[in-house]
Amino acid sequence: MSTLAIVGLHGTMGSRVNALALTQPWIDRIVGVTLTPLHDHEYASLEDIKEPIDIIIDFSTSHQLESTLAYATKHHIPCVLATTGLTSFHEDLIAKSSEHIPLFVSANLSLGVALLKQLLSDSLHFLGNEIDIDVVETHHTRKVDAPSGTAKLLANTISSITGKTMVTSYPESEVKDKNTFGVHALRLGNVVGTHEVHLSLGEEIVTISHQALSRDIFAKGALRAAQFILNQKPGIYTMENLLKEKL
């Protein structure tokens, strides 16, 4: 049995992780970090928590990441990091912390998106780099980062395989550079999240897509990741590791 700490407890995702964690037989206690602690199991910071923690899920903001990693490293606690909008500074922090503790890092904790990424990788290896590629992501109007973390994840896959460079807009008076691909962000209503990768072979287009119908897929993914990483060695783990276990 494990004690789970949720950073960002009252956030959109943190609250769903909390609700679903209550149904998990391997979790016997939940504590949380929130800006407005209201109950005995809620705290203003990780440092305020007096009881031992077995695993941390951080669904807060990039501003919180440094203190989460510092606390987790100090107390040797595995972490699931689901924060988006990370910079090279944060990536360096993650790399250094992973030398001491296991970290599960993903901008998208959906198994479906992990499968999408794998299908994209297989398709690009098969088709080569002479194809035209564009990525379109759609999210709700309250999302603050664009392109989304998942779109950047897909873009990294495209760049590493094809050598093409990501752009977020095309010049008004120039043709598309064949060495680039576009990543376009739409913000509409209450869309949970849709990602489409369009691959043009000239006379035909292949589209690989994923649509999230509920935010619970990310909460469930976070709990799967937490259980997976609980007894892992120090290092960085991703949805690819979890997908391989499932397959």
Q: Is 139 assigned a catalytic role?
A: yes
In 106-204, the DSSP E strands lie at 132-139, 165-167, 180-187, 193-200
CB 224 within 8 A of CB 164: no
Catalytic residue among 90, 139, 210, 220: 139
- With tokens 């016997």, the residue in question is 28
Alpha-carbon span 80 to 103, nearest angstrom: 6
Name the DSSP class of 58: E
Catalytic residue among 10, 143, 184, 198: 143
Alpha-carbon span 201 to 151, nearest angstrom: 21
Instruction: Give how far Cα 172 sits from Cα of 137, 167, 200, Å.
Output: 21, 13, 21
**Identity of the amino acid at 41:** H
- With tokens 């760049």, the residue in question is 159
Alpha-carbon span 6 to 46, nearest angstrom: 9
**Peptide bond before 52: cis, by omega within 30 degrees of 0?**
no
Alpha-carbon span 240 to 242, nearest angstrom: 5
**Identity of the amino acid at 40:** D
Q: Is 220 assigned a catalytic role?
A: no
Catalytic residues: 139, 143
